[in-house]
Chains A and B, each alone.
Chain A
Amino acid sequence: MKVLEVKNLTKKFDGFIAVDNISLSINEGEIFGLLGPNGAGKSTTINLIAGLLRSSEGEIKILGKNNMKHSRYTKMNIGIVPQDLAIYEDLTAFENVKFFAGLYGLRGTELTDRVQEALEFVGLLDMQRAYPKNFSGGMKRRLNIACAIAHRPKLIIMDEPTVGIDPHSRNYILQSIHKLNEMGCTIIYTSHYMEEVEEICTRISIMDHGKVIAEGTKEQLIAIITNTKDIWIEVKSVEQIDIEKIKEINGVKTVSLDKNVIKINSEIGINNLNNILLYLMNQKVEIGSLEEREPNLETVFLTLTGRNLRD
């Protein structure tokens, strides 16, 4: 069954096109990744799906129903974890989850049970009487998730749920996404951390400038660029390097600088490492280390757009 169907969705803000004619189709049981740099239009897409914004064009169906015409039904079945924390500092963890779950019509012992279940799920049960103002960033993020799942939605949408948190909380959250998925939830996960998306997502869309520029499983996406490899060269200084000169070298497809690492994507059949090193030596660049890497989503993005996912 299709949990989500998006057809030719466009959103304009006063003429600025934030989402540009995208189509998505997500099946039950998927963990779907929406990958893209800052301003790609990920959050806008999610807000449109959740019915918080009205689309300029296109249609969104959730569990087969139009999300504007049947907003009550579709909202009942969605749990949204917003990019920015959306919790009350002056309510306890328990009261936060209880309040939001109550808005889905839950009452009485069923409500209390579900609230505790959700808090248990994110590992905050023993903190339920505490106020979030005393929480660490990771705990707040987890409470933010608990507020979105107590009503047991079929579709959970997480908008960068791991921004700015400690590794412990981050692992906890990634694990809980797997657990939710095993329990039957379909998940949409947005991030600009490609490692996370690679790790948990079954299928991925890459967005840039409001458009979906590639879609498929991790393997399918990497297959787009399997005729290339990555060469990362760490150098001591970058002043003398002219990226354009490296690009002229036979076989080199893209070159980018990430601090003091030169990231080169090059065709597989052509052995041009000598030429690259020769250029660097001529420029009197001191080389720290050299590494040939398996291509990943970062490379996919770089190949497709000529830019890094994160600047």
Chain B
Amino acid sequence: MKDIIWLIRKIIRVTFRKKGNILLYFGGPLIGILIAFLAYGGSDQQTLKVGIINQDSAQIAGDTVHFLEHLENVEVVKINESTLKDQIATGKLDCAIILGQKFSESIENGIPDHIQLVSIKGAEVTSFVKSYLYQYLDNITALKRAANGDPEVYQKMYDRFQQANFKLQVETLQDTSKGKNMTIMTIGFLLMIMLISAGNFAEIIMKEKENRTYFRLISTPINVRKYVLANIAVSMMVMVVQVLLTLLMAMKVFHIEMNVSFWQMAVLLTLFALVSAGLSLMVVSFASSSRAAGALHILITIPSCLLAGCFWPFDLMPKVVQRIAQFMPQHWVLETINQLQLGYSFGSLYLNLMILLAFAAVFFLFSVYKFGRNNDVRNFA
């Protein structure tokens, strides 16, 4: 055990003496989070900044502005026409609403008009405001019609409606699909980085054979088993740190709605770390040089991540690819996360976990078999 720790310390020292490696191993996984944000936008809790130009002094216009001010997630700013274009263009405002001089009058006449909505951000942003606003205006027009031309009745109904309206709870529906997509992006990218990291560490074994230090290592009382074990240990440590770091950043800092508990995620991904380590070791045991191992590893990692659906929702992939995906360990991680998000318990998904364990076991067994048969201490270059 003392020997293994001695070996581990050396691998860590050599690896992290290069500053670039720190960035690669611990900055890399966070790129997934950034891509997720770029692809799916920020969190749901954004507030919209709405600029208002009210050219109408009548009551309905004032009440409409009032209504908007009381919507959740909306901040209303009074602006004037001269700064309107500028503020929209620079993104200071998400949209602007202009109530024309005859706005109130048009509502009272039952045909809403003289209202204008300006935005450059498109439907996503404005539809929210629009739907609430139009419903509000619809209601008032309906009152007008119900009052049947009697101004007094209308006024009474209108007042009551206004009071009722203040109590209206505006509820924003949580959009879970966005959270799910962002989870896939973040975790999918993490899986890829984990595979690459594990590959790099396994490659050290190959490099040591090439620069002959492996030869000296096994001439000391250290045996091959301890040496490989130390290598896997470091590889696992780095991957576990990657997992914890990514989950922490995604859940606590960037507030991505994963809907899966931190620890369930951590356990699941640690299992995948074992799979990555096994796979890399197998690649190294088959390859004839470190360059071959590196190439082979990338050749396996990238396509398998693409096929497994690490970067897009599983449902969007063609049926054939979905079937192929089942042979990729990454798929089983993502699938397990998906089912956890749907509310299945961790225990009920033991079959998925077993599949991941089986992947790891097969990879490790193959490597042990290949390493055991190696009879070559010559140059590997």
List residues of chain A with CB under 8 Å of any chain B CB.
13, 47, 50-54, 71-72, 75-76, 78, 80, 82, 84-91, 99-100, 102-105, 147-148
Residues of chain B contacted by A88 (CB below 8 angstroms):
14, 211, 213
Q: Are B377 and A75 in contact (CB under 8 A)?
A: no
A301 to B160: give the CA distance in the assembly, Å: 119
A-contacting 9-mer, from B144-152, B217-225, B257-265: B217-225
- A86 engages B213 (CB within 8 Å): yes
Name B2's closest neighbour in chain A (CB-CB). Answer: A105
Q: What separation, in Å, do the CA atoms of A99 and B10 have in the docked complex?
A: 7
Residues of B within 8 A of A (CB): 2-3, 6-7, 10, 14, 17-18, 211-213, 215-223, 375, 377, 379
With A72-B221, A102-B6, A105-B2 in contact, do A82 and B14 touch (Cβ < 8 Å)?
Answer: no
A86 to B217, CA, bound (A): 9
Decide: B216 and A86 in contact? CB cutoff 8 A: yes
A68 CB to nearest chain B CB (Å): 12
A75: which of B6, B7, B10, B221 is its contact (CB, 8 Å)? Answer: B221
A-B interface, 4 closest residue pairs, ranked by CB to CB distance from nearest: A86-B216, A86-B212, A103-B220, A84-B212
Bound CA span A47–B377, Å? 8
**Shortest CB distance B2–A (Å):** 7
CA distance A103 to B10 in the complex (A): 11
> Is A52 within 8 A of B218, CB to CB?
yes
Q: Determine the main DSSP class of B at the interface with A.
A: helix
B220: A residues at CB distance < 8 A? 75, 100, 103-104
A-B contact pairs, 9 of them (CB 8 A): A71-B221, A75-B219, A86-B211, A89-B211, A90-B14, A90-B18, A91-B10, A91-B14, A103-B222
Could you tell me the dominant secondary structure of chain A's interface residues? Answer: loop
On whether the beta carbons of A86 and B215 are closer than 8 Å, the reply is yes
Query: In the complex, which residues of chain A have a beta carbon less than 8 angstroms from the beta carbon of B215?
Result: 52, 82, 84, 86
Query: In whole Å, how far is B64's beta carbon from the nearest beta carbon of chain A?
Result: 70
Within 8 Å by CB of A52, from B3, B18, B219, B222, lies B219
Query: A13: which B residues are within 8 A, CB to CB?
Result: 375
Complexed CA–CA distance, A148 and B6 (Å)? 18
Please give 16 more A-B residue pairs, beta carbons under 8 A apart, in addition to A52-B219, A75-B220, A103-B220.
A13-B375, A51-B219, A52-B215, A53-B375, A71-B223, A72-B221, A75-B221, A80-B216, A80-B219, A86-B216, A90-B14, A99-B6, A99-B10, A103-B217, A103-B221, A147-B216
Measured between alpha carbons, how far is A193 from B376 in the docked complex, in Å?
26
Q: How far is the CB of A141 from chain B (nearest CB, A)?
A: 13
Give every chain A residue within 8 A of B6 (Cβ-Cβ).
99, 102-103
| Chain B neighbourhood of A80, CB < 8 A | 216, 219
**Which residues of chain B are near A85, meaning CB under 8 Å?**
211-212
Q: Which of B7, B221, B377 contacts A76 (CB 8 A)?
A: B221
Q: Which of A88, A99, A100, A147 has the most CB of B within 10 A?
A: A99
Please pick, from A51, A89, A100, the residue contacting B216 in the complex, using a CB distance under 8 A: A100
Residues of A contacting B379 in the complex (Cβ-Cβ under 8 angstroms): 84
How long is the Cα–Cα vector from A186 to B234 in the complex, in angstroms?
38
CB–CB A87/B213 < 8 A: yes
For B375, the chain A residues whose CB sits under 8 A away are 13, 53-54
Return A18 CB to nearest CB of chain B, in Å.
Answer: 11
Contact: B3 with A103, CB < 8 Å?
A: yes
Question: Chain A residues near B212 (CB, 8 Å)?
Answer: 82, 84-86
Q: What is the minimal beta-carbon distance from B218 to any residue of chain A, in angstroms?
A: 6
- Cα A50 to Cα B218 in complex, Å, equals 9
- Give the residues in chain B near A72, CB-CB below 8 Å: 221
- Across-interface contacts of A53 in B (CB, < 8 A): 375, 377
Q: Tell me the bound Cα distance from A87 to B215 in angstroms.
A: 10
Residue of B nearest to A84 (CB): B212
Most A-side CB within 10 Å, residue of B220, B221, B223, B379: B220
Q: Which of B2, B6, B213, B375 has the most CB of A within 10 A?
A: B213
Q: How far is the CB of B361 from chain A (nearest CB, A)?
A: 28
A75 CA to B226 CA, complexed, in Å: 15
User: Which A residue sits closest to B378, measured CB to CB?
Assistant: A43
What residue of chain A has the Cβ atom nearest to residue B15's Cβ? A90
Chain A minimum-CB-distance residue to B212: A86
Cα(A52)–Cα(B209), bound, Å: 13
Q: Please, how many angstroms separate the alpha-carbon atoms of A87 and B212 in the complex?
A: 8
The answer to whether A50 and B219 have CB atoms under 8 Å apart is: yes
Residues on B with C-beta less than 8 A from A104 are 220-221
Tell me which residues across on chain B come within 8 A of A87, comparing CB atoms.
213
| CB neighbours of A84 from chain B (8 A) | 212, 215, 379
Nearest CB to that of A76 among chain B residues?
Answer: B221
B160 to chain A, nearest CB (A): 80
| Interfacial chain B residues near A90, Cβ < 8 Å | 14, 17-18
Complex Cα distance A91/B211, Å? 13
- Residues of A near B17 (CB, < 8 A) are 90
Q: Which residues of A contact B223 (CB under 8 A)?
A: 71
Inter-chain contacts of A52 with B (CB < 8 A): 215, 218-219, 377
A137 to chain B, nearest CB (A): 15
In Å, the complex CA distance between A72 and B220 comes to 8
